[in-house]
Amino acid sequence: MNKNNEGLLSSFTFSNGIELKNRLVMAPMTNFSSNQDGTVTEEEVKYYARRSNGVSMVITACTYVTANGKGFHGEFGADSDEMIPSLKKLAQGIKDQGAKAVLQIFHGGRMCPPELVPNGEIVSASDIPAEQGGVSTEEPDVKPRALTEEEVEGIIDAFGETTRRAIEAGFDGVEIHGANGYLIQQFFSPHSNRREDRFGGSLEKRMTFPLAVVDKVKSVVKEHATSPFIVGYRFSPEEPETPGITMDETLSLVDALADKNLDYLHVSLFEFFSKPKRGVEDLEKSRIAYLQETINNRVPLIGVGSIYSAQDAREAFESGVPLLALGRELIIDPDWVQKLEEDKEDEIVTKLDKDKQEQLVIPDPLWNAIVNTPGWFPGV
């Protein structure tokens, strides 16, 4: 084995005792490939299984915790006990290949397409339309409805119920999706949260919902899991909107999360070494460096963002993060980790081969999304 890769391929043990065989995990990525009724397709299971052999842990695409939280066409559901057999198939498909299976749980909030949610009614922290990415961006008359306090409590409980289903389906953990502009982030953001009750207002009050979800999930794990169960939390560092989440606000949230006894935090970045836009003094210091300083070894941080080659991974790992997530690269080359293990890193493919959909085991809906979105993947 190349000595330079020993760190990446060394094992890692969470504080709960669960051991990962290496430091490389599959990042959560939407694949648009589930059945209309929210059940997982065979193609989806094969897609995950193909990528679950080398990495130590697979974080699935997000699954919705309530019917009004479905954020994507072809997204699989976990909002009722009827979904447990479907979830079980997915967990088994990943675990049979030797990776830990982690279910990412979420609610889309104002980013949900109206046609996917009951009565076409999208909900959020407040009735503020999304400025980008959401349906209200294209259709200004589509406004989300502000959730009542009772409904907010119901969604917190739903995160707990979905965690119970993940346990029953055989997953090794859940990742709370507090990133990428979805409901949990909408409660933290000063752009989407203009509430004046206990869930909004000051920075501390905007943290109420995210931290309540964490507490609920952890209490359900304590009650229902019979063996160690991973709980992670994913967050985005900043928002482009004004007002919007700034780097210093995220550091306050991360500081609070680091005291919650989570198994890991997972930052959502497009570029690993990207720099803050506002809110901190030194805009030349990377977001990863700021996060590491704030966390101060209280909880493991998973880093991610445009890691394609082995050299990219080594440079990212040298930043001090204990775990790295690979997203698009594992779609491009599902054998990335095995090539590292076998000293064949020069054979790693870093651009998508458009003639190899079948060999890469990529379901049609995901393939079509990739090839029709220039610039999303190298080689497309």
Specify the 3-state DSSP secondary structure of 176.
strand
By CB atoms closer than 10 A (0-12, 13-18, 19+), residue 111 is buried
Active site residue 290: no
Buried b (16+ CB within 10 A) or exposed e, 304-343: bbbbbebebbbebbebebbbbbbbbbbbbbbbbbebbbee
- Residue at 187: amino acid letter: F
Within 10 Å of residue 148's Cβ, how many Cβ atoms?
11
Closest by CA to 184, choosing from 152, 161, 160, 162, is 152
Query: In which residue are the tokens 């009565």 written?
Result: 119
114 close to 135: Cβ distance less than 8 angstroms? yes
308 close to 301: Cβ distance less than 8 angstroms? no
- If phi > 0 it is left, if psi is from -120 to 50 it is alpha, else beta; for residue 170 that is left
182, 233, 264, 290: the catalytic one is 182
Euclidean distance between CA atoms 143 and 121, whole angstroms: 9
Residues with a known catalytic role: 182
